Each structure stands twice: as C-alpha cells, then as structure tokens.
Amino acid sequence: MRRWVGMVLVAGMLLAGCATPEGRLAGETMRLGLVNLVLSPFMIVAGLAQGLAFLPYTVGTELAELNRGLIQAQAVTLDDSYRATFGVSIHDPRVHPRTGEVAGETRRFTNMLEATQAFQRLLVSQGMPEEVARRYVLASIDTHTRSRGHILLTVVYRHRGMQPFTAVSKHTGIVTTFRPEHSGWREPYERDARGELIDEVVDWAGLEFGLLKQDKVVGMLMVLAAETVKTGKRSPEYWQVERRWMAGETTEIIRESLAKVKLDGPRG
C-alpha cells in the first residue's frame, strides 16, 4: 500500500507542477506515475467505487490481475466486457494475456455511438432488459481533443433512449435536431429546446484521449461504466464541469478527476 500511495503522490506532484503545455499533462502523469501502479484486489475493489475517475489508475496492472480483482469484487468482469466490446473472450489466443491488446480483425468502435452500442450489449449481458439498456449512453465532449488530447467522458441516462432530440447546440447556439449518426447526439444535453429533461449524468471523468487507444483501458471503461449504472448514481455537478471544460479548464478538470480517487478506499 505504501508503494501504491507513493506512486500516486508522484502523479499528484506532476499534476501540480507540470500543467503546461496542456496537451502533455495527462501523458506525463501516466508515463511517470500511474503506469507503475500494480493494483491489489483490495485496491481494485476500492477503485470501483470511484467510477470512471479510476480508469487511469488501471493502466499499469496486467489484464489477468485486473480480471481476478473484478471477480473477487463480484463486479462485471473484463471477460464479459471484451465479449461485448471486441467480440472475443480475454482467453482467446488473439488477446495478449498481459497487455490485453487484441490482435487481428475484431470488433472496434470508432465513435461514441459504436461505444454506446457496445456498452448496451454489456448491460444486456448482465441481465438488464434491452429496452432499459438502450437508455444508457456513453457520451463525450471532444472540444479540446484535437488541440490538447483531452476528452471529457460521461455515462448518461437518456430518457429518450436512442431516439432523436431537438436542442440548442452548445457549439453554435442554433436549435438543431440531433440523430444518433450526428456527433452532437453523442454529447450530453441536459434539456431539449422546450426545456424537457434529456440526460441525467451518471458519472464523468476528464481523461487523456490517448488512453482510449489501449484495448485493456477500453475494456475497463466499459466495466466501470456498468458498475456506476448498477449503483444508481447521479452526478448533477457535471453540467458546471462541462461549462468549465468548454471554456478551456481541461487541465484543472483532469486534475480534479484524478483527485476523486481515494487512496484508502471506503471506510466502514
């Protein structure tokens, strides 16, 4: 535990002292701090309670160790996640047993609609009725992804499910009808053009977009998102966070997201 805490403190110091340039903040933190973390089953259990913010802390732990910790926690497993996301078991010979990278032509998603569809498959595999699962959406704000490599990820409960909605675009200020094939549909929206509720944010995290290029991280994203849904959690503070993110405070929000993870887990 002391070694784990020490590594996180290193990461914290990097966050405090290496906030420029913006685009290198999270990358430096991952490379010099969190990638060296090897999580024990206890730490995995504690991390699950922190939701999506725990995702960067999992990058240094091998696939099999993460899966064992999830089984011990009686959580959604990486095997279930990989089947829903990539169409393969983690025991498939195409899956690297340590890094979790999947070789060959397997299912991949290229946008948040495809990520949502994979997430919904995972929820259904855990026993959720399909009509309920279709109301849970993985959404993101990509305003600073190209320029800084930062992404604001959310899990939302969308009252209209996969249906189109009409809202004032947060980018243009124009009333627009968004359909699943549109990038705007894949962003969180609190209310439609008539003021009716569209999304309730379940959980959120500010992240380095490059993390999502790793198959194991994508698999864990699905696990953590499913676990937050199981808790019935809601995060109404998100809408203020989003306004700050779009105004350019991505570094600060990534720092705050990492800081949400408690080192000693829940007390009881």
Given a cut of 90, whether residue 227 has pLDDT beyond it is: yes
Given a cut of 60, whether residue 28 has pLDDT beyond it is: no
**Cβ pair 91, 79 in contact under 8 A:** yes
Given a cut of 80, whether residue 35 has pLDDT beyond it is: no
**Greatest distance between any 2 Cα atoms in the chain:** 53
Rounded Cα–Cα distance for residues 54 and 57 (Å): 6
Give domain limits for the chain. 2-259
* Global confidence as pTM: 0.87
pLDDT tens-digit series, residues 130-145: 999 999 999 999 999 9
Q: How many CB atoms neighbour CB 141 within 10 A? A: 23
Per the DSSP assignment, residues forming a β-bridge with 140 are 153
Over residues 204-212, the mean pLDDT reads: 93
| H-run or E-run covering 199 | strand 199-208
Structure-token pair, residue 223: 């696990």
Q: How many CB atoms neighbour CB 102 within 10 A? A: 23
Given a cut of 60, whether residue 31 has pLDDT beyond it is: no
